[in-house]
Amino acid sequence: MLWQFIGLGRVNWGRLMVIAVPYFWLALFFFIPFVVVFKISLAESAIAVPPYSSLLDWDLEEAYLNIKINLGNYLFLWEDSFYLDAYLSSIKIAVISTLLTLVVGFPIAWLIARSEGTTRTVLLALVILPFWTSFLLRVYAWMALLKKSGPINDILMAVGLIDQPIQMLQTDFAVYIGIVYTYLPFMILPLYTALEKLDMTLVEAAADLGYRPVQSFFAVIVPLALPGIVAGCLLVFIPVVGEYVIPALLGGSDTLMIGRVLWDEFSINRDWPMASAVATVMLVLLVLPIMLVRNRADDQEGKA
Confirm if 247 and 260 have CB atoms less than 8 A apart: yes
Q: Distance of CA 229 to CAs 59, 77, 195, 264, 293, Å?
A: 57, 33, 10, 34, 14
What are the residues facing 11 on neighbouring strands?
Answer: 6
Give 177-189 pLDDT, tens digit per residue: 999 999 999 999 9
Q: Distance of CA 63 to CAs 53, 67, 258, Å?
A: 21, 14, 43
DSSP state of 243: -
Confirm if 250 and 146 have CB atoms less than 8 A apart: yes
Closest CA to 104 of 194, 31, 183: 183
* Length of the chain measured in residues: 304
Banded model confidence at residue 18, pLDDT cuts 50, 70, 90:
confident
State the burial class of residue 220 (Cβ atoms within 10 Å of its Cβ: 0-12, 13-18, 19+).
Answer: buried
Banded model confidence at residue 301, pLDDT cuts 50, 70, 90:
low
pLDDT at 1 over 70: no
pLDDT at 19 over 90: no
pLDDT at 149 over 60: yes
Mean pLDDT, the chain, integer: 86
Average pLDDT in the 140-144 region? 93
Cα 280 to chain center, whole Å? 16
- Phi, psi (rounded to 5 degrees) for 52: -155, 155
Q: What is the pLDDT of residue 287?
A: 82
pLDDT at 152 over 80: yes
The DSSP-derived string for 211-257 is --HHHHIIIIIHHHHHHHHHHHHHHHHHHHHT--HHHHHHS-TT---
Average pLDDT in the 165-192 region? 94
Percent of the chain with pLDDT strictly greater than 70: 91
Confirm if 76 and 84 have CB atoms less than 8 A apart: no
Per mean pLDDT, which of 19-23, 91-95, 133-137, 157-161 is the most reliable?
A: 91-95
Cis peptide leading into residue 151 (ω within 30°): no
Specify the range with the lowest mean pLDDT, choosing from 45-59, 77-91, 128-142, 173-187: 45-59
pLDDT at 102 over 80: yes
pLDDT at 9 over 70: no
Q: What is the pLDDT of residue 255?
A: 86
Q: Distance of CA 283 to CAs 247, 258, 259, 290, Å?
A: 20, 11, 12, 11
Average pLDDT in the 287-301 region? 70
pLDDT at 8 over 60: no
67: part of which helix (H) or strand (E)? Answer: strand 64-67
